[in-house]
Structure 1
């Protein structure tokens, strides 16, 4: 009998302790909720000046009579080819023709030309015109190209009423990205390219750590919207991603007398 009394007494003490513990925990939770609930809200902004940022102030630029920004590097203004060399050896003078109207024309057979200066990420402006006399079709008509870092091509082609493979027409990232629309004008008119090129990045072991991206505006129309560069734009086979640093801008001799004018670049 005494044993039973002791047993029930023990159980009463145990349950009493558990209730006290639970009660203490409930009090702590309640205090925490009260603290959270009573936290004063962030100060409401009523003065517009509190969200104004005055520094750093963007640098002001100007424009010359040809609408070239004052912070741009002029690569061709019709006066000379001093900014360019032959891509065959990166030393010999560029062999293309400068015309009286301050344009230059691809001289078929002389080879590609490239800038003496190397570039990373840039904004590029150039204007080009396919030959007025229409000859050939597809890739054989008004074909050239602008290459970034000697590896990544934005196609130049007379794509006005000229069918070819879609990832090889004008403004395509050659064999990688089809343009959103075909904004090509007739070959008797000048075409304008405004291109934003963000260069890919590589680590010290030669691994690509960040893809490059290209945006293309053709005759005022967005045709490539920050598309990823998958690697070098190969004529045959898939893109390659060999490590490299800055590189020249290259214009292609594809045996068609394409004309160029007003080429300038801004480093980003």
Structure 2
């Protein structure tokens, strides 16, 4: 089941899954010295209880001037109201500010750019279905094709399906009144030809290989705390504070006139009602570290945070008997298009290939059954799209069983997030790197078994590591993967051997260092 709000709250799986959800997010074990709490009473109490007592978050990241994209128009009064809605410690005060903020989005004085920018802020702030319905109606009245992605942000909310369908239809009529959806032969006309380039219908046009300066994962050396910052459409940001063993705490980001990013969000209150503030500052002369402090009654306990990418690669793992499908010497000669012609993806320096969004998926010329598969990949940073329109691809083992590749950095694992066996198994651990980071996926695959008559006697099995973290442990894959779990259950497994397929799903994803080796003991 896809997430139904930007924070993954209120997820309601439609049916049981083969692999349970990971539950609370836990940070990877620290690689440096363990946490040592101060011995004096006050500081010791803070360090032992800080994760239960955050009432209000203030994170200020100061960066050198940004060149990633032009600042969208914003209204100062609306921005101030949105910051109040994000950071008030009182739930009632936040709800009041959200209502005022969403109502103000209807003002005829707002430019299209400002309305889009603040409407995306509202998506991050909204906590009720009534608030989301109001945002949907506002989005459906924005005469700009970029609003298609904004409306589509609500397509997977279970209780808003009718509202989404109505808004989608209204926006289509607004953008292309009376436009035909099929040609003279009854063939469906692609939406991109009706609405033109936009983040929903042509997401690859918004994929970028340059960093925005803010997004990514930051952590202290002892693993006590991490902050993940995610770029959202129209220069909005969301983030979450991760505390070992506790539920992530959400934040909303606001780009500041001085080039900094302000992150705000309500936290938690301890029994004595004290207010705690967390602040962070990234020096203007570098983008490698910032400090974070717990402040109360004038006392500070600093924690140094550094960039802490989860993306890890292991080129040294390639065994001598591996079949190399891609490295710095091969180009695309070991892959083909579906019709058998030469693969037509882009070849880049260093043995890197990149999806050409109009070239289709590619298949290995060699075929495999039981196998150990390794590949490295990275997603572009997409500042306009969201969800399945962001970094989407997939690795199809035996051209049948998809291990999902999609930019789900900063999201709780689900059955369609990165590393999922699509609609079958949720990753058992969070191991997703940020966009632009090179990541690795290693799969130990045991093909399904068949008797002499062609009847399946045992299902396929997989163990999967992403970035060195085990996310599936010898799980059964009972049937092929498909666009839905129900459709997959109707499909029949293929007999080995079959090719490895790399999916083209309309985004620019890059790959390198792909090899397949015999499965030990097979």
Same fold (TM over 0.5): yes
Q: In 1, are the aligned partners of 2:447 and 2:496 still within 8 Å (CA)?
A: no
Report the Cα offset of residue 139 of structure 1: 1.2
CA distance in 1: counterparts of 2:488 and 2:373, whole angstroms: 26
Q: Which of 428, 437, 448 pairs up with 1:200?
A: 448
Report the Cα offset of residue 238 of structure 1: 3.4
Q: In 1, are the aligned partners of 2:463 and 2:473 still within 8 Å (CA)?
A: yes
**Runs of 4+ residues over 4 Å off in structure 1:** none
Q: In 2, are the aligned partners of 1:183 and 1:221 still within 8 Å (CA)?
A: yes
Q: Deviation per CA, 1:138-187, whole angstroms, max 9, x where unpaired?
A: 11110000011111110011110257x81010110100000012211111
CA distance in 1: counterparts of 2:428 and 2:495, whole angstroms: 29
Summarize the Cα distance change of 1:129–1:135 in structure 2 as closer, same or farther, 3 Å threshold. farther
Q: Which of 241, 252, 257 pairs up with 2:492?
A: 241
Match of 2:465?
Answer: 217
Summarize the Cα distance change of 1:214–1:83 in structure 2 as closer, same or farther, 3 Å threshold. same
Q: In 2, are the aligned partners of 1:145 and 1:155 still within 8 Å (CA)?
A: yes
Q: In 2, are the aligned partners of 1:131 and 1:257 still within 8 Å (CA)?
A: yes
Q: Which of 189, 196, 213 pairs up with 2:437?
A: 189
Q: Helix, strand or coil: the match of 2:388? A: helix
Q: In 2, are the aligned partners of 1:144 and 1:253 still within 8 Å (CA)?
A: yes
Summarize the Cα distance change of 1:127–1:243 in structure 2 as closer, same or farther, 3 Å threshold. closer
Match of 2:410?
Answer: 161
Q: Helix, strand or coil: the match of 2:415? A: helix
Q: Does 1:116 align with 2:365?
A: yes
- Structure 2 portions without partners, runs of 5+: 1-313
Summarize the Cα distance change of 1:85–1:219 in structure 2 as closer, same or farther, 3 Å threshold. same
Q: Does 1:74 align with 2:320?
A: no
Match of 1:253?
Answer: 504
Q: In 2, are the aligned partners of 1:125 and 1:193 still within 8 Å (CA)?
A: yes
RMSD: 1.7
Q: Deviation per CA, 1:35-59, whole angstroms, max 9, x where unpaired?
A: xxxxxxxxxxxxxxxxxxxxxxxxx
1:79-90, aligned counterparts within 5 Å?
A: 79=329, 80-87=331-338, 89=339
Match of 2:393?
Answer: 144
Summarize the Cα distance change of 1:124–1:110 in structure 2 as closer, same or farther, 3 Å threshold. same
CA distance in 2: counterparts of 1:233 and 1:220, whole angstroms: 24
CA distance in 1: counterparts of 2:505 and 2:518, whole angstroms: 28
Summarize the Cα distance change of 1:243–1:107 in structure 2 as closer, same or farther, 3 Å threshold. closer
Larger radius of gyration: 1
Report the Cα offset of residue 212 of structure 1: 1.1
CA distance in 2: counterparts of 1:265 and 1:76, whole angstroms: 10
CA distance in 1: counterparts of 2:361 and 2:481, whole angstroms: 16
Q: In 2, are the aligned partners of 1:143 and 1:157 still within 8 Å (CA)?
A: yes
- Structure 1 portions without partners, runs of 5+: 1-64
Q: In 2, are the aligned partners of 1:137 and 1:162 still within 8 Å (CA)?
A: no
Q: Helix, strand or coil: the match of 1:145? A: strand
Summarize the Cα distance change of 1:226–1:242 in structure 2 as closer, same or farther, 3 Å threshold. closer
CA distance in 1: counterparts of 2:325 and 2:384, whole angstroms: 29
CA distance in 2: counterparts of 1:160 and 1:183, whole angstroms: 9
Summarize the Cα distance change of 1:118–1:227 in structure 2 as closer, same or farther, 3 Å threshold. same
Report the Cα offset of residue 242 of structure 1: 3.8
Q: Helix, strand or coil: the match of 2:488? A: coil
